Structure 1
C-alpha cells in the first residue's frame, strides 16, 4: 500500500518540533552541499531557528561574498528599463511618477491606477507600466536583501564577540582555579609545618620527675 500524502502543518508538540527542525535542517544543508558538488554551483543557505539562532552553509569562501554577489546582480537588474520606441507615441505624463521609488505604498499605486482608468491604455502604455511596477518590485527586494545582509553581518559579529568573551572568561576561570589550588596547597603546608613543630616541642620537653616519699 502506497504511503499517503503528508499534510504540512505546524507541529504543536515543542519537543517533536525541535527534533524535526534539527533533522530537516541537517538534511537541507546536506542537499545544498550535494547540489554544489554535483552541479559545480555556488550555494548559500541561511536558516534562523524559532529562537533566532543562525545556521548557515556556503559552498564558496564565505556567505558574505555570496550575498554580495547576489546584491550586485540584483542592483544590475534594478537598472531602469529603457523606454519603448518605434511607436512614435509618448506615454501619458501621469504614469511617469507612478513608481518613482520603493517607498510608494501599494494603496497609493492602486488608487492611481483606478484614477487613470487602466482599461483605456494601449499595449505600449501597459508595457511601460508593467516595467515600472517590476522596477518597484526589484527595488523592494533589493532593499530587503540589503537589510538581511546588514542583519546577518551584525549577527556574525555578535557571535564572534560572544565567542571571544567566552574564551576570555574560561581563561580567567582557569587562572582563578590555579590560584585557589595554590593557596590551598600553601595553607596545607603551613598546617603541616605547624603540626610538626608542635610534635618536636613535645619530644624536647624535660621528663617529669617523680618524687618518691620514703616512709
Structure 2
C-alpha cells in the first residue's frame, strides 16, 4: 500500500509528533553517517528536541568541525569585506579622478586657458573670483607691510636706545644735542658763504 503525501506543518498531536521526531531524527543521523562514509566528507549534525534534549553526530569530532566552520566563516567574511573595500576604494578613486579633472579645468580657466567653451555667465564668475582673489592678496600684502614696518620701528627704537647707552658710556653728548650742534654749524657755514652784492 502506497504511503500518502504528508503535509508540511506542525503535528498537533503530541504523541505523534514525538514518534515522528524519533524516527526522522534517527533517519537524519543515519543519512549524515552514510554521507560522511560514502563521500569522505566531514559532517556534523546538531539537533535540539522540543524538550531541549541534545542529539548530535560528527564524523571527526564536533569541536574540530565547529572550529573549522568558524574559520571558514571568518575567511568568507574577510573575503566579502575585502571585496566591499576594493569596490568602495574603486568608487572613491573614480570620484577623486572626477574632482581632480574638475579642479584642473577650473585652474586652466583661472589662468585664462580653455575659455572658448565657457558661457558668458561662467566668464563673469571667473572674473568675479579673480577680483576676490586679487582683493585678498592686496589685503594680505598690506598686512605684511604693516607688520614689517612695526618690526622695523621696534628695531629702530632698540638701536636708538643702544646708541644712547653707548654714547653715555663713552662720554659723548646725547644724539639729540649732537644733531642740534651739527645743524647749527651747518647754518652758520651757510650764512658765512652768502654774499650780498657783486663779487
TM-score by length of 1: 0.38
- Structure number with the higher helix fraction is 2
TM-score by length of 2: 0.41
